[in-house]
Amino acid sequence: MPCRAGDEAVQAGRNAELSVSEALAQRRSVRGFLPDPVERSTVEAILTDARRAPSGANLQPGRFIALTGTPLRALSRALAEAIADGRPQVAEYSYFPKKMPPELKARQRAAGYALYEALGIERRDLEGRRRQFDRNYQFFDAPVGLIVAIDRAMGKGCFMDLGMAIMALLASAESRGLATCGLGAIAHYGDVAHEALGLPEEELVVCGIALGRADPAHPANVVRTARAPLEVFAELRGF
């Protein structure tokens, strides 16, 4: 069936290259994906872009393990089984402050409530919230899942470099019409992912990333978190 003019315009917009500013403004965490596969060449191009991020002394710390098809399903199954078996979570690094300041706690709650409201999950529905959270370990059914790892011997600055590489990856994916979601929850069962993928002993699992095409009909994808205004997080002096 031929595409309608409106459909062609939408597709053309998706295929058009975005500026860096446009990609950053458009990017969001997507938690509902279409099953459409992502070509290997596209994943390779996105990973190549990620490695172009700045790196102190050009150490280029960290690496990415991209999975699709059977390997991705096997990892998701291992994570689901670990949760079902009551396997304890690990905490090889601290993601959040040990004592969350009130203003940051408010941001965290607002983001969570917005997502649960979009999905029709009541605030007191703890089981529903748990099931939604566990979808992190299924990569939200994205066709591609990535595991981000780093050598444990690297210093804290190298985590900053790896973070820049991850941001470059997210922006590259967005510019190509693809969607992503960072999955810090994977680190809760980093040992499970480590075992399932047979990673080297010296490597630490930092997080996961879901990658694919956003499902425009999925209710989770209407959620956009607010960002602090410029005057809250930046100072401009001498301008």
How confident is residue 20, by pLDDT bands cut at 50, 70 and 90?
A: confident
Go through 59-92 and write b for each residue having 16 or more CB atoms within 10 A of its CB, e for each that does not. Answer: eebbbbbbbbeeebeebbebbeebbeeeeeeeee
Residue 191 has pLDDT above 90, yes or no: yes
pLDDT of residue 18: 82
Q: What is the pLDDT of residues 176-188, one digit of tens each?
A: 999 999 999 999 9
Residues spanned by the domain of 153: 31-222
Residue 77 has pLDDT above 80, yes or no: yes
How far CA 118 is from CA of 27, 37, 212, 216, 221, in Å, comes to 18, 26, 21, 13, 9
Angle (CA) 38-46-152 rounded to 5° is: 110
pLDDT of residue 16: 61
Average pLDDT over residues 21-43: 96
Q: Which two tokens stand for residue 64?
A: 């990415």
Residue 152 has pLDDT above 70, yes or no: yes
Annotate 13-46 with DSSP letters as a single string: HHHSPPPHHHHHHH--B---B------HHHHHHH
- Contact yes or no for 198/92 (Cβ under 8 A): no
To the nearest whole number, what is the mean pLDDT of the chain? 93
Residue 13 has pLDDT above 50, yes or no: no
Residue 228 has pLDDT above 80, yes or no: yes
Gap between the terminal Cα atoms of the chain: 57
User: Rounded to 5 degrees, what are φ and ψ at 73?
Assistant: -60, -40
Average pLDDT over residues 164-187: 97
pLDDT of residue 7: 41
Would residue 25 count as lying in a domain?
A: no
pLDDT of residue 17: 74
Neighbours of 27 (CB within 10 A): 17
The span from the CA of 46 to the CA of 42, in Å, is 6
User: Rounded to 5 degrees, what are φ and ψ at 174?
Assistant: -60, -40
Q: Which two tokens stand for residue 28?
A: 């969001």
Would residue 232 count as lying in a domain?
A: no
Would residue 11 count as lying in a domain?
A: no
pLDDT of residue 4: 42
Whose tokens are 């029709």? That residue is 120
Whose tokens are 């209407």? That residue is 222
- Give percent above pLDDT 90 in the chain: 88
Would residue 136 count as lying in a domain?
A: yes
Would residue 170 count as lying in a domain?
A: yes
Would residue 181 count as lying in a domain?
A: yes
Residue 45 has pLDDT above 50, yes or no: yes
Residue 153 has pLDDT above 90, yes or no: yes
Domain count, the chain: 1
CATH number, position 73: 3.40.109.10
pLDDT of residue 91: 85
